[in-house]
Structure 1
Amino acid sequence: MTIPHISPVKDESLAAQLDRAINNKTKPLGSLGALEALAHKIGMIQKTARPEVREPAVLVFAADHGVVAEGISAFPQDVTWQMVENFLAGGAAINVFARQNGCSLQVVDAGVKHDFGQREGLVNRKIAPGTANFAQQPAMSVPQCMEAIECGMDLVAELPGNVLGFGEMGIGNTTAAAALMHRLTGIAVADCVGAGTGLTPEGVLHKQRVIEAAMALHADAQGGLQALAAFGGLEIAMMVGAMLKAAERRMVLLIDGFIVTSALLVAARVQPAVLEYCVYAHCSDENGHKRMLDFLGGRPLLNLGLRLGEGTGAALAVPLLRAAVNFLNQMATFESAQVSEKSE
């Protein structure tokens, strides 16, 4: 497997051109706040002073987790495949928000413990029927992990647009994400673990203890890919590959919530420049996500108390990307509108 090469977005001449264009619009300096930084970032990613949002897509990666056997979820494992059926029927929140905001939507079976057969709208990339229980053994073999990463890369290689949102579904995946977060950031396990789909305080404490025991079991899994194989889900591994390929293609990566950001932690260990292509859609209400964003230096666009996953936050952020590029491309300048500028 060849890891994509990701070029830094640094271009001082283009950065200055974008600054001039943004600052010369008919508004006080900085008055469009985060939209100005967003327009600048999209321009730098796309290497143009006239960026665009073209055919935005959301990929939802689904897989099961063997660690569910430890009683770390408030919902049974069957909910993973049942929710995939809901996605395919168009009835989930991500279907609603993707339709509303003009995003294409693909659902990817990365490793669901269920046989869906050939289904319209479902991309079958099943590596295995879920991971192993990482409380007992590594979640994935190294070849499985590498295959999942490569599948993610292949899925993105032919996408037509320039904005990609990431979503996921997998009962137990907040446990995998919390384990990755602790191993790759050094943040205390208690600060990484949350309620997931609705655990009681006692359930959260149990999840914390399961992760702490697994840390000792997999003490040698220190690097990004080693930690991914030890703790991660097949959907998380596939997202890592998709993120790396999307950044190589100079797409805007719309990062959703806690689990998607855990995949980014791994991708950034492999290729740190991937972070330069990321727009953080929102700050999840899942405990640990804000700390994860702070660790990555990510400033979220939205803070709505979401903790659903599925890529819902990413889809909701698409109109903000459109607003950013549209003001840059369509708003009058002081000169064109014959509006007086601020007095010195």
Structure 2
Amino acid sequence: MANAATATGLPFDDIRTVVQNLSGGDERAVAAVAVRNDELFGAEGAGRLGKLCEWLAAWSGKSPSVTRPLVALFAGTHAAQGAQAQGNVAAQIARIAQGGAPINHICSSQELGLKVFDLALAYPVANIAEDAALSERDCAATIAFGMEAVAGGLDLMVAGSCMPQAGFSPAAIFLALHGGPVTKWTDDPGDAAIAIAAVAFHDSATRDPLEALRRLGGRETAAIAGAILAARVQHVPLFLDGRQAMAAAAVLQALDADAISHCMLAQGHGSMVDRCMAEALGMVPLLDLSMRLDSGEGGALAMMMARSAAAMHGAELSAIT
């Protein structure tokens, strides 16, 4: 995909083609799971766990099972963050690399795969209030990089970031795509000021969702968008975790309303901002723990629930083709 991004005219052409040719969910797999739910729990006894199993089946094309899960975290830096916040991102990545972060303990105890992608932390994207974060070529290449993260026969994925101090970027993307007021998209005055300035600076160019992504997003958001697309193509259900992931999903949804049907929001953080973003995506979080950890922990916990829901079905049904 990295080479294809520049093969047909403009770098974004192939991304648009991928979005336009996404396949739907497997209705036969969903029907089989619904029958199994009725057998085990009665017509309504399975609740959201039953729907969770149907979601797993719809987008994997087989009976619900979670045997190759992966938590994928993407990290980049922004000039608008300032040096201290950029250093905090690097420190968080180092902590995860050393195995000392909460996400490490969750993943190791539950046998969940964990990968962290360092997206040129030493080279922040431009200040989005003064310039485009990325060129079209660089943004397309970063989307392609994110697509390559979905490999190895995964059957469930979490896409998230390690970006607790870059809330202005998701806020700017939602502001550009869904309108204001900006307080729907951030509760931080500093982030709000950057988001407003950025959307005003780029003006009507951000009406194109991919332009909004390259101008207002960072490498982490572009890579997550790629991971979301690749998961759909490879029939991998995907949990979104955090505001960068929701912003990436918003971009794809603006391109095609069905482009994120294989995604589920892992958790709500308990804030009005997160509720507004979830509503804009048409999603209800699987979990709502009011947890402010933002490095994949909510996604990993949602993954555990998905695996438990699949286990409720007992002996795995034969694969549906």
Calculate the TM-score normalised by the size of structure 2: 0.87
Which amino acid in the other structure matches residue 81 of structure 2?
A: V
1:80 has 2:95 as partner: no
How far off is 1:291 after superposition?
1.1
Counterpart in 2 of 1:319? Answer: 304
State the Cα distance separating 1:16 from its structure 2 match. 3.1
Greater Rg over alpha carbons, structure: 1
Post-superposition offset of 1:159: 2.7
- Percent identity (aligned): 25
Q: 3-state SS of the aligned residue for 1:170?
A: coil
Structure 1: how far apart are the matches of 2:124 and 2:182?
Answer: 24
Q: Which residue of 2 aligns with 1:140?
A: 134
Does residue 57 (structure 1) correspond to residue 42 (structure 2)? The answer is no
8 Å CA contact 1:281–1:313 kept in 2: the answer is yes
> Does residue 263 in structure 1 map to residue 279 in structure 2?
no
Which residue of structure 1 lines up, in the alignment, with residue 283 of structure 2? 298
> Residue 39 of structure 1 contacts residue 325 of structure 1 at CA under 8 Å; is this kept in 2?
yes
Q: Tell me which of 23, 26, 32 is aligned to 2:38.
A: 23
Report the Cα distance in structure 1 between the residues aligned to 2:256 and 2:102, rounded to whole angstroms.
Answer: 32
Partner of residue 171, structure 2: 178
Distance 1:82 1:8, change over 3 A: same
CA distance in 1, matches of 2:253, 2:120: 23
State the AA in 2 paired with 1:61: F
Matches within 5 A, 1:194-213: 194=187, 204-213=188-197
Equivalent positions of 1:1-344 (< 5 A) are 1=5, 2-3=14-15, 4=18, 5-9=21-25, 11=27, 13-25=28-40, 27-48=41-62, 50-69=63-82, 76-113=85-122, 129-156=123-150, 158-170=151-163, 172-194=165-187, 204-219=188-203, 220-330=205-315
User: C-alpha separation between the residues in 1 aligned to 2:246 and 2:121?
Assistant: 21
Q: Is the 8 A contact 2:163 2:294 kept in 1?
A: no
Q: Is the 8 A contact 2:157 2:239 kept in 1?
A: yes
What is the letter of the counterpart of residue 79 of structure 2?
A: G
2:242 & 2:115 partners in 1: Cα distance? Answer: 18
Deviation per residue, 1:173-221 (Å, 9 max, x gap)? 2110111111122242111112xxxxxxxxx223312221221111122
Which segments of 5 or more consecutive residues in structure 2 lack a partner in the other structure?
Answer: 6-13, 317-321
Whether the aligned pair in 2 keeps the contact of 1:244 and 1:271 (CA below 8 Å) is no
* Contact kept? 1:77, 1:171, Cα under 8 Å: no
Stretch moving more, 98-107 or 227-236: 98-107
**What is the TM-score of this pair, normalised by structure 1?**
0.82
